[in-house]
């Protein structure tokens, strides 16, 4: 990019891509445990590249009268590097293929009983605005218990009856 920017002080010593860069270096023939200085320098180069690319894309969006950065802004920024543009186009195409493939699968599997939203716990208060000792409202008229369970199954054995 044109002008290198100074890293913000809060990110100065922080490594953003340490694990990924270690794996990348090992995949390209470096030692299993590369030198910390190598990882630090690679991290700075990677972070600076990402920051510069984002700034350039933001600048391009601003020049086009937009506040939001679009994918076309990033394509414009890297249009001079054919390899990078080709890889970006390939990854975008793969992402679209994956989205289409995911749409083909039935996503309702494993959601038995949740098709109606499942049980939701609502906070209810009685007319005075206070909760009862069990956390329920004092008015049982709207809780869906119309006594049909007792008619069909009989009274619950766990309920203590007063005599």
pLDDT in tens, 5-19: 555 545 567 889 999
User: How far, CA to CA in Å, does 57 sit from each of 77, 85, 138?
Assistant: 6, 14, 60
Q: How far is CA 20 from the centre of its chain?
A: 20
Mind listing the pLDDT tens digit for each residue in 64-75?
A: 999 999 999 999
The two structure tokens encoding residue 34: 């590369």
Helices and strands: H and E segment counts in the chain = 5, 0
Under the banding of pLDDT at 50, 70 and 90, the label for residue 148 is very low
* 70 and 40 Cβ atoms separated by less than 8 Å: no
Query: Is the pLDDT confidence value at 22 over 70?
Result: yes
Residues 6+ apart with CB under 8 A from 83: none
pLDDT band at residue 156 using 50, 70 and 90 as cut-offs: low
The tokens of 39 are what? Answer: 């990882």
Q: How far apart are the first and last CA of the chain?
A: 86
- So what's the pLDDT on residue 104? 83
The stretch 128-134 carries a mean pLDDT of 55
Q: What is the pLDDT of residues 27-53, one digit of tens each?
A: 999 999 999 999 999 999 999 999 999
Q: How far apart are CA 143 and CA 137, in angstroms?
A: 9
The stretches of 12-162 forming alpha helices (DSSP H) are 18-27, 36-63, 71-77, 82-104, 148-153
Burial class (CB in 10 A: 0-12, 13-18, 19+), 21: buried
């Amino acid at each position: 990019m044109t002008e290198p920017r100074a890293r913000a002080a809060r990110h100065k010593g922080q490594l953003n891509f340490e694990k990924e860069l270690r794996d990348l270096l090992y995949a390209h023939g470096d030692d299993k445990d590369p030198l910390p200085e190598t990882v630090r320098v690679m991290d700075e180069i990677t972070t600076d590249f990402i920051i510069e690319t984002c700034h350039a894309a933001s600048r391009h969006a601003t020049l086009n009268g937009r506040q939001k950065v679009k994918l076309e802004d990033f394509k414009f920024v890297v249009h001079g590097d054919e390899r990078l543009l080709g890889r970006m186009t390939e990854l975008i195409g793969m992402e679209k293929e994956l989205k289409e493939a995911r749409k083909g699968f039935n996503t309702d599997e494993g959601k038995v009983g949740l098709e109606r939203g499942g049980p939701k716990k609502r906070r209810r208060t009685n007319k005075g605005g206070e909760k009862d000792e069990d956390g329920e409202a004092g008015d049982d008229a709207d809780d869906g218990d119309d006594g049909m369970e007792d008619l069909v199954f009989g009274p619950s054995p766990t309920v203590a009856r007063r005599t």
